[in-house]
Amino acid sequence: MSNRLFQGIIHQMGDAANRTIGVIDDTGVIIACSELVKIGEARHGIHDELAYTSDAVTVEGYTYRPIGTAAKWEYIVFVEGEDDTAERLADILSISLSTIKNLYDEKYDKNSFIKNIILDNILPSDIYIKGKELRFNTEEVRVVFLIKFLSRTEVLPFNMVQQIFPDKNKDYVISISEQDIVVVKEIKGGTDIREFSRTDVRNQFGMVLQDTWLFNGTVRDNIAYGKLDATDAEVEAAARAAYVHHFITTLPHGYDTVINEDASNISAGQRQLLTIARAILADRRMLILDEATSSVDTRTEERIQKAMDNLMEGRTSFVIAHRLSTIKNADLICVLQHGDIVEQGTHEELLSLGGVYAELYNSQFEEDGVEDE
């Protein structure tokens, strides 16, 4: 939104308020103020004060309130004073600027344009015209991710996704609801994604999750679910690569042993190794491994880690983990704290920083009574 538009409104309301009023942007800098000399000043720490509340807060003689009800505050209004009048003025100013901002966004903002297309709130005949007005390049190839958060998180889902896709010029992160986020990402590459079917895209990914999924059927059928036309030799090779072949041979009927409805006749670690064997057999180009070792003991974790190393070889892999021993060999580690990426680097680089990662890593090895080699 234009700073000039904000300043015009603040200038008009300044005399009526009979107090210093203004607006702070997402970097903490004053971008509009009834006292022009204050524009450009920094108000550090205000965003932190408002991180978990939509109510007004008072800091050092001023009352602050976020503009609007978005998942992430882009702007904050401030009013001189800490009394009830200052709070009421801050409320009025916030509501007024929020309304004007929304009208402005509907006319000019590309995120709103995309959101209206997704929600079918714009006529097909208007899409081309509106795209031209916004100078929206329709020739670029983009991929759309629909992300649904199945449970509530401490940090707002929008904020978490925004951290992963920070390029606002090419990536559009849109909050459809509190738990539903859409990401529209511009991509470059040799293959036009428009030539891909939905099945083609899905077939590029393999997943091993914290909550394993096995069905009521034989061990062989559960592994072969990753490749329905797999031969017995391929299933066994995948099981060997996942370090689960020996366990299978100890079962009453080997690969033909039937797993019951809730897979309670095998341990959590064994269930995880079977899902890894399934992923190895599927042979996807990209992998998502989400807390794959979270529910097993240290010895089983070592076996699963070896299996995961075989699985990830030659592939792009995204690994989410609290047990840091599972990500030591990653090319890039991103450390998230309260939904923000606070550190990133290799294992050695992060240890040398002596920050959040190093503290967590060292504490885990102290608890396990294991020394790093």
CA 81 – CA 72 distance, rounded (Å): 25
CA 68 – CA 327 distance, rounded (Å): 40
Ranges for all domains in the chain classified under CATH 3.40.50.300: 199-327
| CA-wise closest residue to 358 among 368, 369, 372 | 372
Q: What is the pLDDT of residue 285?
A: 80
List of the chain residues with pLDDT < 50:
70, 370-373
CA 133 – CA 127 distance, rounded (Å): 10
- Please give the full DSSP string across 349-364, using - where no structure is assigned: HHHHHTSHHHHHHHHH
| CA-wise closest residue to 35 among 25, 20, 23, 13 | 20
User: CB of 223 within 8 A of CB of 235?
Assistant: yes
Q: What is the pLDDT of residue 172?
A: 84
Q: Structurally, what CATH architecture does the domain formed by 3-105 represent?
A: 2-Layer Sandwich (3.30)
Q: Read off the pLDDT of residues 215-269 as tens digits, 9 standing for 90 and up.
A: 889 999 999 988 888 899 999 998 988 888 999 999 999 999 999 877 778 888 8
| CA-wise closest residue to 297 among 334, 263, 272 | 272
Residue type, 301: E
Q: Which residues contact 205 (CB under 8 A, 6 or more apart)?
A: 284, 285, 286, 287, 288
> What's the alpha-carbon Rg for the chain, to the nearest Å?
27
CA 49 – CA 310 distance, rounded (Å): 46
Residue type, 171: D
Q: What is the pLDDT of residue 218?
A: 93
Q: What is the pLDDT of residue 298?
A: 67
User: CB of 286 within 8 A of CB of 312?
Assistant: no
Q: What is the pLDDT of residue 81?
A: 92
CA contacts within 13 A on the Cβ side of 295: 13
Q: Read off the pLDDT of residues 271-323 as tens digits, 9 standing for 90 and up.
A: 888 988 898 888 888 888 887 776 666 676 777 777 777 777 777 888 888 77
Based on the number of CB atoms within 10 Å of its own CB, is 139 exposed (0-12), middle (13-18) or buried (19 or more)? exposed
Evaluate the CA torsion angle 100, 101, 105, 109 in order and state its sign: positive
Q: Would residue 181 be called left, alpha or beta, if left means φ above 0 and alpha means ψ between -120 and 50 degrees?
A: beta
Q: What DSSP character marks residue 285? A: S
Residue 278 host element (H or E): helix 268-282
**Domain 199-327, classified CATH 1.10.645.10, yes or no:** no
Q: What is the pLDDT of residue 373?
A: 40
What's the Cα-to-Cα distance from 244 to each of 11, 49, 238, 281, 295, rounded to whole Å?
Answer: 71, 51, 9, 13, 17
Ranges for all domains in the chain classified under CATH 3.30.450.40: 3-105
What does the buried/exposed string (b/e) look like for 303-341 if buried means 16 or more CB atoms within 10 Å of the residue's CB? bbbebbeebbeeeebebebebbbbbeebeebbbbeebee
Evaluate the CA torsion angle 86, 87, 90, 95 in order and state its sign: negative
